[in-house]
């Protein structure tokens, strides 16, 4: 219990957090980085195949083919397709559950908080229903119908949601997706043993999976959530470990499926439930945000001020959040819930509950979300959390970090709230870009990892470099958690921007980095980009817009990246995906993609060099638009 692991921690862009973790009497992911520092060179290059009992086969210059005859190009792209299919499957699982929750809410005549978004979707889908609940049910049914189509039948909503020039490009390339769930199945089958050996053909399938991932798993998940949970509203809010209030029973939530928490977050504010907390010795209940579902609650925090205390941090901050001793239970429903939290929860008597069996943790109780039985299950969960609070408080030491983060991060930014802030039109932003007051836009998105320079190090350093060059940054994902905890999303962060961007920020009272929320909000960034392109009457690759997933982590990020490439956008990565062992894969992703879709992959682990490259691309795009 008294052992200090601090001498072996990795660096973090968040120095107060780094120091805090260094002094913890327990092991975290930050400590395990060093013990896993020796990497498998075959794995890094993607040239290891273990699909059959003849293997694992590893490709080298001396052994250029596996036993079956597969070469590096086949093995690498097969591994990539399998990973993209898995990542896409994760997102399709989320949008499916979200659509089901919208449909069930509509059938139960539940509250529809985002009527404007519902009407927007109904108009897009050509749905005419006077009753709001029937309208919501019809929208959800339209999404589910598309998800369940066979792979050979193209999804009907793709054309309605995609930007027309992009749709035409995809159609010309033969990568319009069929039913999204069937596409995942098709991708898994295609990369199995002794099937496809054409690397370019498999890379095109990655793009196809990227399209269904982006339009359905990203864009539609956000909009469907807005229908039942409320539309984002811009406001200032606290972030960091400071949001943990020990006077309350604190529940940390992790995952990506906000609609699964709706009934719980509402129930926790009922008087009879608050009375349970008071009898146990607490003032009430609070939800503490972590990972993307925490970003979701932060995005809509204006609707949940009574129950939501704020977003504490990203996936690799979760262990530190628990180590404070102020968390009484963890409720999880999807990924970014690290296995490393389990021993910490056991040590600190923190109750672990999973409400989706895909995220079942080894030491957690499974209480699956069921719309019909949600009142009874929710009350069971509440009673267990109260019991955990009573059992642990007083016997577990508090190790709070009350000054961590900041009290005034700008949150609630979405494609609709930002446009409203600008007066209902993108023209003010376009005018600023044309005038050169804002040089361009960078979407810094995706995950946090511990190996691209350390915890959020490359991400934060790159953001600082970009805003110093008058490039405004829009973020979505776990990367946002690190950026906000480092203070770059407060209005005062304008001082880090270049002179022109700083003047814009100070005039508008905004930071140079705007947080769109969870990784799924990458879909919101696509909506912004599409509407800007429509206003300018250009295709997406012509915009002075770049993407960076500087510290991408997992397979979902690879599916995200394929969407960005399908949109025709330059995509920067701090670490390469596991494809460098294939000359064909590298050539297609970094060069040939420019001709295929207009996109390209850029690999660079240095913040300044990466910013140089991205700034050069933005300047070239500006020149192409004659601005």
**Within 13 Å and on the Cβ side, how many CA atoms surround 424?**
0
Per-residue pLDDT tens over the stretch 533-578: 999 999 999 999 999 999 999 999 999 999 999 999 999 999 999 9
What residues have CB less than 8 Å from 91, skipping those under 6 apart? 213, 216, 217, 218, 221, 520, 556, 559
What's the pTM? 0.96
Statement to judge: residues 353 and 308 lie in one domain:
yes
- Please say whether the dihedral angle defined by the alpha carbons of residues 151, 162, 98 and 284, taken in this order, is positive or negative: positive
What residues have CB less than 8 Å from 319, skipping those under 6 apart? 21, 28, 29, 30, 338, 340, 341, 344
Residue 527 inside a domain? The answer is: yes
Give bridge partners of residue 514 from the DSSP assignment. 474
Statement to judge: residues 205 and 109 lie in one domain:
yes
What are the backbone angles phi and psi of residue 339, rounded to the nearest 5°? -60, -25
Residue 236 inside a domain? The answer is: no
Statement to judge: residues 373 and 452 lie in one domain:
no
Statement to judge: residues 81 and 212 lie in one domain:
yes
pLDDT at residue number 335 = 85
How do beta strands 285-290 and 308-313 pair? parallel
- Given a cut of 60, whether residue 428 has pLDDT beyond it is yes
CA distance 574 to 453: 9
- Please say whether the dihedral angle defined by the alpha carbons of residues 425, 426, 429 and 434, taken in this order, is positive or negative: negative
What residues have CB less than 8 Å from 593, skipping those under 6 apart? 565, 599, 600, 601
pLDDT at residue number 5 = 46
Instruction: Report the 10 Å Cβ neighbour count for 518.
Output: 31
In three-state secondary structure terms, 568 is: coil
- Domain final position from 160, 194, 229: 229
| Model confidence band, residue 336 (pLDDT cutoffs 50, 70, 90) | confident
Statement to judge: residues 251 and 333 lie in one domain:
yes
Residue 462 inside a domain? The answer is: yes
Statement to judge: residues 485 and 554 lie in one domain:
yes
**Contact of 255 with 356, CB cutoff 8 Å:** yes
Statement to judge: residues 464 and 369 lie in one domain:
no
- Domain final position from 178, 196, 229: 229
Q: Residue 204 to residues 80, 215, 555, 603: CA-CA distances in angstroms?
A: 11, 17, 17, 20
Statement to judge: residues 170 and 247 lie in one domain:
no
H-run or E-run covering 342 = helix 341-347
Residue 60 inside a domain? The answer is: no
Domain count across the chain: 4
How do beta strands 440-445 and 406-411 pair? unpaired
pLDDT at residue number 3 = 46
Residue 332 inside a domain? The answer is: yes
- Domain final position from 392, 425, 450: 392
Per-residue pLDDT tens over the stretch 40-78: 999 999 999 999 999 999 999 999 999 999 999 999 999
- Given a cut of 60, whether residue 6 has pLDDT beyond it is no
Per-residue pLDDT tens over the stretch 254-289: 999 999 988 999 999 999 999 999 999 999 999 999
- Given a cut of 90, whether residue 4 has pLDDT beyond it is no
Q: What is the mean pLDDT of the chain?
A: 96
What are the backbone angles phi and psi of residue 43, rounded to the nearest 5°? -65, -40
Statement to judge: residues 369 and 433 lie in one domain:
no
Give bridge partners of residue 287 from the DSSP assignment. 251, 308
- Given a cut of 90, whether residue 94 has pLDDT beyond it is yes
Helix/strand number for the chain, H first, E second:
27, 16
CATH number, position 291: 3.40.50.2030
How do beta strands 308-313 and 249-254 pair? unpaired
Residue 401 inside a domain? The answer is: no
Residue 34 inside a domain? The answer is: yes
Statement to judge: residues 183 and 245 lie in one domain:
no
**Contact of 254 with 293, CB cutoff 8 Å:** yes
What are the backbone angles phi and psi of residue 468, rounded to the nearest 5°? -65, -20
pLDDT at residue number 125 = 97
Among candidate residues 586, 546, 544, the one with its CA nearest the CA of residue 569: 546
CA distance 390 to 148: 46
Statement to judge: residues 614 and 485 lie in one domain:
yes
Burial string for 143-157 (b: 16+ CB within 10 Å, else e) reads beebbebebeeebeb
CA distance 291 to 302: 19
| Model confidence band, residue 7 (pLDDT cutoffs 50, 70, 90) | low
- Given a cut of 70, whether residue 136 has pLDDT beyond it is yes
Statement to judge: residues 443 and 580 lie in one domain:
yes
pLDDT at residue number 547 = 98
Query: 132-147 vs 180-190: helix axis angle to the nearest 10?
Result: 20
pLDDT at residue number 391 = 97
Rounded to an integer, the average pLDDT of 290-315 is: 94
Per-residue pLDDT tens over the stretch 230-245: 999 999 999 999 999 9
CATH number, position 157: 1.20.1270.30
CA distance 415 to 417: 6
DSSP letters for 137-178: HHHHHHHHHHHTS-TTSB-SHHHHHS-HHHHHHHHHHT---B
Residue 113 inside a domain? The answer is: yes
User: Which residue range is the domain that position 179 belongs to?
Assistant: 72-229
pLDDT at residue number 2 = 39
């Amino acid at each position: 219990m008294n052992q200090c692991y601090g001498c072996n921690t990795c660096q973090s862009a968040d120095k107060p957090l780094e120091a805090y973790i260094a002094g913890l009497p327990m092991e975290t992911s930050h400590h395990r980085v060093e013990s896993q520092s020796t990497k498998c060179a075959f794995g890094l290059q993607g040239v290891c195949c273990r699909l059959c009992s003849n293997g694992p086969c590893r490709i080298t210059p001396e052994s250029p083919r596996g036993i079956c005859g597969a070469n590096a190009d086949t093995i690498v792209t097969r591994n990539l397709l399998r990973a993209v299919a898995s990542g896409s499957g994760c997102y399709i699982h989320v949008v499916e559950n979200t659509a089901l929750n919208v449909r069930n809410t509509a059938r139960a005549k539940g509250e529809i908080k985002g009527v404007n978004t519902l009407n927007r979707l109904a108009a897009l889908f050509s749905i005419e229903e006077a009753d709001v609940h029937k309208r919501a049910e019809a929208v959800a049914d339209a999404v589910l119908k598309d998800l369940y189509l066979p792979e050979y039948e193209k999804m009907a909503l793709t054309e309605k949601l995609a930007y027309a020039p992009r749709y035409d490009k995809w159609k010309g390339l033969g990568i319009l997706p069929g039913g999204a769930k069937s596409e995942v199945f098709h991708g898994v089958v295609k990369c199995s043993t002794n099937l496809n050996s054409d690397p370019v053909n498999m890379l095109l399938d990655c793009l196809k999976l990227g399209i269904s991932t982006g339009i359905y798993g990203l864009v539609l998940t956000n909009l469907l959530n807005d229908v039942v949970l409320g539309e984002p509203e811009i406001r200032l809010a606290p972030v960091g470990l400071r949001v943990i209030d020990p006077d309350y029973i604190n529940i940390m939530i992790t995952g990506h499926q906000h609609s699964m928490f709706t009934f719980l977050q509402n129930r926790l504010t009922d008087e009879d439930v608050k009375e349970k907390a008071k009898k146990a010795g607490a003032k009430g209940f609070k939800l503490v945000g972590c990972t993307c579902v925490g970003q979701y609650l932060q995005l809509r925090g204006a609707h949940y001020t009574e129950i939501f205390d704020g977003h504490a941090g990203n996936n690799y901050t979760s262990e530190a959040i628990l180590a404070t001793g102020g968390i009484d239970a963890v409720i999880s429903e999807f990924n970014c819930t690290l296995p490393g939290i389990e021993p910490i929860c056991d040590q600190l008597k923190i109750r672990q509950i999973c409400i989706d069996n895909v995220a079942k943790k080894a030491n957690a109780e499974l209480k699956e979300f069921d719309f019909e039985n949600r009142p009874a299950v929710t009350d069971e969960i509440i009673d267990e959390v109260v019991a955990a609070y009573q059992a642990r408080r007083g016997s577990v030491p508090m190790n709070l970090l009350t000054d961590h983060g900041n009290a005034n991060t700008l949150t609630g930014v979405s494609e609709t709230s930002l446009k409203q802030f600008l007066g209902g039109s993108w023209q003010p932003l376009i005018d600023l870009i044309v005038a050169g007051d804002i040089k361009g836009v960078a979407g810094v998105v995706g995950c946090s990892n511990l190996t691209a320079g350390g915890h959020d190090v490359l991400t934060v350093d790159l953001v600082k470099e970009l805003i110093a060059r008058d490039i405004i940054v829009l973020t979505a994902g776990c990367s946002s958690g690190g950026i906000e905890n480092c203070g770059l999303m407060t209005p005062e962060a304008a001082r880090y921007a270049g002179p022109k961007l700083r003047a814009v920020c100070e005039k508008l009272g905004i930071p140079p980095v705007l947080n769109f929320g969870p990784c799924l909000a990458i879909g919101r960034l696509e909506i912004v980009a599409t509407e800007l392109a429509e206003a300018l009457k250009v295709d997406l690759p012509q915009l002075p817009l770049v993407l960076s997933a500087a510290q991408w982590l997992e397979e979902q990020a690879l599916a995200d990246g394929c969407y960005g490439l399908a949109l025709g956008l330059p995509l920067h990565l701090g670490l390469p995906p596991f494809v460098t062992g294939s000359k064909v894969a590298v050539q297609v992703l970094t060069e040939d993609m420019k001709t295929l879709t207009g996109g390209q992959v850029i690999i660079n682990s240095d913040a300044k060099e990466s910013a140089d490259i991205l700034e050069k691309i933005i300047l070239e795009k500006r020149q192409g638009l004659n601005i």
